Amino acid sequence: MDNKIRVTVYRGSEQIGGCCTEISYKNTRIAIDFGSPLPEDATKELDVIGLTKGKSAFDAVLFTHYHGDHVGEIGRINSDIPVYMGGFAKDVIAAYKRYNPHFFADVDIDRIDEFVPGNEITIGSFRIMPILSDHSAAESFMFLIQADNFQILHTGDFRLHGLYREELLSSVKKLGKIDLLITEGTTLSRKEDANKAYTEEVVENLMRNCIYENKYCFTILSSTNFDRFKDISDSVDRYRMDNYPRGKYFVIDEFQKSLFEIAEKRLPDRYLFRTKTTYGKNIDAGMEDKGFIMMIRPSKADHEALLRKYLVECPEKTVLIYSMWSGYMKKGKLKELTDMAHDKGCLRIIHSSGHVTKQDLESFVEMVEPEKVIVIHTEKSEEINKLKNQISIEDGETKVFEI
Ligand SMILES: [Zn+2]
């Protein structure tokens, strides 16, 4: 047994999706995240001896947030290894499992231990503090991982143009000296808009204008982007006050309603969705009369039929607001529907990334002043400029740090 920290990136140095990082010290081995590759990453299943096969050798796996590229392979972790995540993420996974038995089919929800923001947990030789972060998944965490006097900050996915940036920065400033920063670098390798990002406040303004100016609004966005739903919900509330008693519907489906309930229960300081109506044929006439913004799922035939009807019958009063990463819009049903709206002059793209911009990441590194930096959640690219104090690492490689 020696006094060395070992960090192994199993996956994440060459592709955005499916990251998994091991940190070990003395007799303790932990892993952070165990996700699925993104659809565009053609990679095979990740097996780690002692984690997914063979006699268990890990003391715990901790998850930063509920996005599939971080949590998707949780079901493949040996059943005797404890897994930890925030209560919000646990509830979201349970909701997906109830909604569609194919999601997380191999996950036993009862095996998941919850941690609480700001409450340190001890796992063997590590003390770990979950820090509430800011990302397009609600209740995402950074982890401060302490091994004796060596401090590692693992950022998970984060951004500094969201609603909670000040809260996050003030938490990080209190951490003291960081010996190793393990950070996401999604935008370092994505060519489009690496430096530009609307703040979430700008997105809210654009959403509100769109809702005020167009009687019939459809929107396509991630079910679990609760900040974005809050933008919409608050805008509809404001519209209803300004136009009382005419109002406007904010239409969702049963599954979305159950996700809203999780957000309101788990993070009541951040989320309250006052005005919402569950879609059914019974409100078709009311929607046509009063106007609406409706969250649609491209996989649902009744949602698609309604969108097509409005685009054909009254394109001058109808918009489709696309509010996700543009990469998803390039194929399948999403392409079909957004192309159709575009051809009618009805497509609006209003979005802000969940990932820190290159500029913000550079200033974050300046602020944290880590001794060393490891970048994960990024694609391999010769073009990327290295961050200050960044060390290169490849998938499967282990770096050793003296305490
Ligand atoms: Zn994420």
Task: Compute the distance from residue 68 Cα to the ligand 1 centre, in Å.
Answer: 8
Select from 167, 150, 149 the least CA-distant residue to 158: 167
Task: Compute the distance from residue 205 Cα to the ligand 1 centre, in Å.
Answer: 24
The CATH number assigned to the domain holding 63 equals 3.60.15.10
pLDDT confidence of residue 189? 75
Task: Compute the distance from residue 135 Cα to the ligand 1 centre, in Å.
Answer: 7
Same domain, residue pair 316 and 390: no
Same domain, residue pair 40 and 137: yes
Task: Compute the distance from residue 133 Cα to the ligand 1 centre, in Å.
Answer: 11
**222-259 confidence digits (pLDDT tens):** 999 999 999 999 999 999 999 999 899 999 999 999 99
DSSP string across 73-118 = TGGGS-TTS-EEEEHHHHHHHHHHHHH-TTTTTT--GGGEEEE-TT
For residue 245, cis peptide bond before it (omega within 30 degrees of 0): yes
**How many domains does one find in the chain?**
2
Helix, strand, coil shares, percent, the chain, to 5: 35, 25, 45
Task: Compute the distance from residue 313 Cα to the ligand 1 centre, in Å.
Answer: 38
Q: Which residue has the higher pLDDT, 191 or 349?
A: 349
Task: Compute the distance from residue 195 Cα to the ligand 1 centre, in Å.
Answer: 18
> Quick check: helix, strand or coil at residue 399?
strand
Task: Compute the distance from residue 287 Cα to the ligand 1 centre, in Å.
Answer: 34
**286-323 confidence digits (pLDDT tens):** 999 999 999 999 999 999 999 999 999 999 999 999 99
352, 198 in Cβ contact below 8 A?
yes
Res 24 pLDDT > 90: yes
Q: Please report which residue ranges of 344-392 form alpha helices under DSSP H.
A: 358-368
**141-156 confidence digits (pLDDT tens):** 999 999 999 999 999 9
Amino acid at residue number 66:
Y
Same domain, residue pair 243 and 280: yes
Fill in the DSSP letter of residue 54. S
Task: Compute the distance from residue 136 Cα to the ligand 1 centre, in Å.
Answer: 7
Q: Are strands 216-220 and 398-402 parallel, antiparallel or unpaired?
A: unpaired
- Dihedral of CA atoms 190, 66, 26, 371 in degrees, nearest 10, equals 40
Amino acid at residue number 321:
I
376, 345 in Cβ contact below 8 A?
no
267, 307 in Cβ contact below 8 A?
no
pLDDT confidence of residue 163? 96
**What is the Rg, in whole angstroms, of the alpha carbon atoms belonging to the chain?**
22
Same domain, residue pair 253 and 368: no
pLDDT confidence of residue 16? 78
Q: What pTM value is reported for the model? A: 0.95
pLDDT confidence of residue 188? 86
Task: Compute the distance from residue 17 Cα to the ligand 1 centre, in Å.
Answer: 9
Res 1 pLDDT > 80: no
Same domain, residue pair 282 and 158: no
Task: Compute the distance from residue 248 Cα to the ligand 1 centre, in Å.
Answer: 32
Q: Are strands 216-220 and 318-322 parallel, antiparallel or unpaired?
A: parallel
Task: Compute the distance from residue 70 Cα to the ligand 1 centre, in Å.
Answer: 7
Ion ligand 1, residues whose Cβ is below 5 A away: 67, 157
Same domain, residue pair 178 and 263: no
Same domain, residue pair 16 and 154: yes
Tokens of 386: 């290295």
The last residue of a domain, from among 330, 349, 368: 349
Task: Compute the distance from residue 8 Cα to the ligand 1 centre, in Å.
Answer: 20
Same domain, residue pair 27 and 12: yes
The CATH number assigned to the domain holding 277 equals 3.40.50.10710
**First vs last Cα of the chain: how many Å apart?**
13
Same domain, residue pair 52 and 157: yes
The last residue of a domain, from among 349, 372, 392: 349
Task: Compute the distance from residue 86 Cα to the ligand 1 centre, in Å.
Answer: 14
Q: How far apart are CA 36 and CA 181, in angstroms?
A: 23
Same domain, residue pair 205 and 134: no
Q: How confident is the model at residue 381 (pLDDT cuts 50, 70, 90)?
A: low
Task: Compute the distance from residue 67 Cα to the ligand 1 centre, in Å.
Answer: 5
**91-111 confidence digits (pLDDT tens):** 999 999 999 988 999 999 999
Task: Compute the distance from residue 2 Cα to the ligand 1 centre, in Å.
Answer: 34
Answer positive or negative: Cα dihedral of 332, 338, 344, 345: negative
Task: Compute the distance from residue 158 Cα to the ligand 1 centre, in Å.
Answer: 8
Same domain, residue pair 79 and 139: yes
Res 193 pLDDT > 60: no
**E strand spans, 174-247:** 180-184, 216-220
Number of Cβ within 10 Å of residue 339's Cβ equals 12
Domain of 263, in residue numbers: 198-349
25, 147 in Cβ contact below 8 A?
yes
Same domain, residue pair 173 and 262: no
Window from 53-57, 65-69, 292-296, 380-384 with minimum mean pLDDT: 380-384
Task: Compute the distance from residue 397 Cα to the ligand 1 centre, in Å.
Answer: 23
**152-170 confidence digits (pLDDT tens):** 999 999 999 999 999 999 9
Q: How confident is the model at residue 195 (pLDDT cuts 50, 70, 90)?
A: low
8, 22 in Cβ contact below 8 A?
yes
Q: How far apart are CA 295 and CA 230, in angstroms?
A: 13
